[in-house]
């Protein structure tokens, strides 16, 4: 609905042209200042990025010296810990320690499992739970988010990097490329944050994410059949057809049912404890420690029975100690650089999408706002540092964040506690993981997958928007039967097709007036609105009148005008004498749009119909003035509101007040 009425009726005067005008508002449209150009917009973005505003929360009422004020503000912007650290106390620390220890009990087994999914040795998953959480703890703005390896990004890396180098043939090069992808992903994420490019993350719509996550969850689950069944040979492909063929082919060879028995037993155990934790909120810790208990119990059982001698697959040796440097392994030049960059930008966007979605959902519960740009910078710096210390791409995990939140985390200190705990485990406990069965790692990963499949949300998308559901379905089918890249490409293609279709054929509505008001709205949406017999009022519902939609809009308007003229002649009713174009939704216009307005004006002039324009946007009116459209239409026929335009047209025709 278009509300064009002022709160109080203002006196109406008649100009020298005999047109009824509101002198206080009529000249506002044409006398508006020049809008900022592209250069000014770009300079503003850069200045905002590198000269952050000072926060209002100065410590203890003391203002830093002017020469240090900007530097301190910049440091507090990059390192939020300098702000909230001043009010941190022992009570908060105690809560964070408990949350961090609970988080580590879940994170250690998950990290080992996700490293296996990424086709890396187990210790690399643990490395990724040490360095990135420490960096994020001093740079991030989310108090609850838990940083580390996640299933979807692990799948992305293994599926895309495996196409460059086969990890079974050349594991050293594969590992180096994973570190390179992590470094580049971090650089992209920092760039997104610095230059306010967060809108790139929004290219993946909510519907696309729902479909992509569901498809990825099923693919990840199918990949775990290798560990669950104890298979030695498996496919590198991720599509469901290739995986099923690989399983059927592998089952012809001898396999030990003990792997399947161990995996299924502990999968049931983990899911049962999760059910109990959700049913009884005070027992949330039971579901948090169940993966660690599964590792301990299964390792002890295999060691006691020497099941590894009877076909049960085990991890065997896990390297102990702190993360080694991987800076020398980065391949920033050479034949693999372009492929690594392509993989990195996909991983960067997916990781940011998941982390920001998780962070914002929990921030809304606690009642504070998450700074998306700071999150991008923090996540990027975490991954850059991680790539130099044998880590792969880290992001926020929904399952671990939920545990962190339930355990009472009050700040990012819980990430520091988790990181220290994982480091201690790396130093002291790696030898005890020798007999850990691979099947139990598969069961840990499988237990985390149901949270990625949101059937309820998919049904809601179908109910609300069928085109959005097509995007969701395209991502799901593409990932399931093609690959991760195909799924993303299909969802993006459908999303952009939707945008293009809506841009090519925007709504063009005939408006009527609600009786007794100065409100004009669509007569299709509001049938009670009445038409002004001698004035045809048309609203253009697009923000950008441009080459892609100008022809459709022009032809639609001209067609309506001709129909109105012919109908009035046939039925001998009052002929349309004026057309008001409501351009209040048109923010910008290009030369094709200007040409369309000129042709509409020529058509109206040939039919002796007066054209009026109401409420054009800032950029639009400036370009219309430069192109001479305002001179052709006449400055006295450019109005601020639809009500003024219609009133002027009726006054010109009859010299009487507007009635409807």
- DSSP classification of residue 640: S
Tokens at residue 262, please? 């161990």
β pairing state of 395-396 and 507-513: unpaired
Tokens at residue 369, please? 């706002």
CB 478 within 8 A of CB 487: yes
Given this model, what pLDDT does residue 580 score? 95
**Which class does domain 506-659 fall in?**
alpha beta
Element at 569 (helix H, strand E): helix 550-570
For helices 618-627 and 591-606, give the axis angle rounded to 10 degrees: 70
CB-based burial label for 457 (10 Å; 0-12, 13-18, 19+): middle
**CB under 8 A, 24+ apart: contacts of 303-312:** 303/435, 307/258, 307/262, 307/437, 308/435, 310/256, 310/258, 311/230, 311/254, 311/255, 311/256, 311/258, 311/259, 312/230, 312/256, 312/258, 312/259, 312/262, 312/437, 312/439
- Paired strand residues for 395: 148
Given this model, what pLDDT does residue 415 score? 96
Given this model, what pLDDT does residue 255 score? 73
β pairing state of 535-541 and 578-582: parallel
**How far apart (Å, rounded) are the C-alpha atoms in residues 587 and 583?**
8
**How far apart (Å, rounded) are the C-alpha atoms in residues 132 and 381?**
8
SS3 579: strand
Q: Using alpha carbons, select from 141, 133, 130, 131 the residue that is nearest to residue 78.
A: 141
Domain spans, the chain = 89-465, 506-659
State the CB neighbour count (10 A cutoff) for residue 78: 16
Given this model, what pLDDT does residue 54 score? 45
Given this model, what pLDDT does residue 16 score? 34
Given this model, what pLDDT does residue 61 score? 43
CB 440 within 8 A of CB 294: yes
Given this model, what pLDDT does residue 64 score? 52
Residues of the chain below pLDDT 70: 1-26, 45-70, 569-573, 654-660
Q: Which stretches of 429-531 are DSSP H helices?
A: 438-448, 455-464, 466-481, 484-504
CB-based burial label for 274 (10 Å; 0-12, 13-18, 19+): buried
Given this model, what pLDDT does residue 70 score? 67
Backbone angles phi and psi of 638, in degrees to 5: -110, 120
Q: Using alpha carbons, select from 619, 538, 546 the residue that is nearest to residue 29.
A: 619
**How far apart (Å, rounded) are the C-alpha atoms in residues 347 and 207?**
19
Given this model, what pLDDT does residue 25 score? 66
């Amino acid at each position: 609905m278009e509300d064009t009425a002022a709160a109080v009726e203002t006196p109406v005067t008649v100009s020298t042209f005999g047109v009824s005008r509101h002198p206080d508002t009529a000249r506002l449209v044409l006398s508006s200042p020049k809008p900022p150009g592209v250069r000014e917009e770009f300079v503003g973005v850069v200045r905002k990025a590198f000269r952050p505003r000072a926060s209002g929360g100065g410590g203890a009422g003391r203002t830093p010296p002017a020469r240090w004020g900007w530097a301190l503000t910049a440091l507090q912007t990059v390192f939020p810990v300098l702000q909230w650290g001043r009010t941190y106390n022992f009570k908060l620390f105690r809560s964070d320690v408990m949350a961090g220890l609970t988080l580590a009990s879940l994170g250690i087994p998950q990290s080992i499992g996700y490293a296996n999914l990424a086709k890396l040795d187990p210790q690399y998953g643990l490395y990724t739970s040490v360095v990135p959480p420490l960096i994020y703890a001093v740079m991030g703005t989310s108090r609850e988010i838990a940083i580390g390896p996640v299933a979807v990004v692990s799948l992305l890396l293994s599926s895309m990097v495996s196409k460059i180098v086969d990890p079974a043939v050349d594991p050293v090069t594969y590992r180096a490329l994973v570190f390179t992808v992590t470094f580049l992903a971090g650089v992209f994420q920092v760039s997104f944050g610095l230059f306010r490019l967060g809108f790139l993350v929004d290219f993946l719509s909510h519907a696309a994410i729902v479909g992509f996550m569901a498809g990825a969850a099923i693919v990840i689950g199918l990949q775990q059949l290798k560990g669950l069944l104890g298979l030695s040979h498996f496919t590198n492909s991720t599509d469901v057809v290739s995986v099923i063929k690989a399983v059927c082919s592998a089952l012809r060879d001898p396999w030990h049912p003990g792997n399947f028995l161990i995996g299924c037993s502990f999968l049931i155990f983990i899911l049962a404890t999760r059910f109990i934790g959700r049913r009884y909120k005070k027992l949330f810790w039971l579901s948090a420690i169940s993966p660690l208990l599964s590792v301990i119990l299964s390792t002890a059982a295999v060691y006691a029975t020497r099941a590894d001698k009877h076909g049960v697959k085990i991890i065997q040796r896990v390297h102990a100690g702190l993360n080694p440097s991987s800076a020398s392994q980065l391949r920033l030049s050479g034949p693999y650089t372009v492929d690594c960059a392509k993989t990195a930008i996909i991983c960067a966007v997916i990781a940011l999408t998941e982390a920001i979605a998780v962070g914002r959902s929990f921030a809304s519960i606690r009642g504070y706002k998450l700074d998306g740009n700071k999150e991008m910078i923090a996540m990027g710096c975490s991954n850059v540092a991680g790539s130099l210390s044998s880590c792969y791409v880290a992001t926020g995990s929904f399952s671990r964040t939920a545990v962190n939140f339930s355990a009472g985390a009050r700040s990012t200190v819980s990430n520091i506690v988790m990181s220290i705990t994982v480091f201690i485990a790396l130093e002291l406990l790696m030898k005890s993981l020798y007999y850990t069965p691979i099947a139990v790692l598969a069961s840990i990963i499988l237990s985390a997958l149901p949270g990625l499949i949101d059937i309820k949300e998919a049904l809601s998308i179908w109910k609300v928007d069928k085109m959005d559901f097509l995007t969701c379905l395209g991502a799901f089918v593409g990932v399931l039967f093609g690959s991760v890249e195909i799924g993303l490409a299909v969802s993006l293609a459908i999303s952009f097709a939707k945008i293009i279709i809506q841009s090519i054929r925007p709504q063009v509505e005939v408006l009527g007036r609600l009786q007794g008001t100065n409100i004009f709205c669509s007569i299709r949406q509001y049938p009670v609105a009445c038409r002004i017999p001698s004035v045809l009022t048309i609203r253009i519902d697009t923000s950008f009148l441009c080459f892609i939609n100008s022809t459709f809009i022009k032809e639609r308007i001209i067609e309506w005008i001709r129909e109105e003229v012919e109908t009035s002649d046939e039925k001998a009713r009052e002929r349309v004498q004026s057309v008001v174009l409501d351009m209040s939704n048109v923010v910008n216009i290009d030369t094709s749009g200007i040409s369309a307005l000129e042709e509409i004006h020529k058509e109206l002039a040939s039919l002796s119909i007066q054209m009026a324009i109401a409420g054009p946007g800032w950029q639009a009116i400036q370009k219309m003035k430069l192109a001479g459209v305002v001179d052709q239409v006449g400055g006295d026929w450019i109005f601020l509101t639809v009500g003024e335009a219609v009133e002027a047209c009726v006054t010109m025709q009859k010299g009487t007040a507007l009635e409807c």
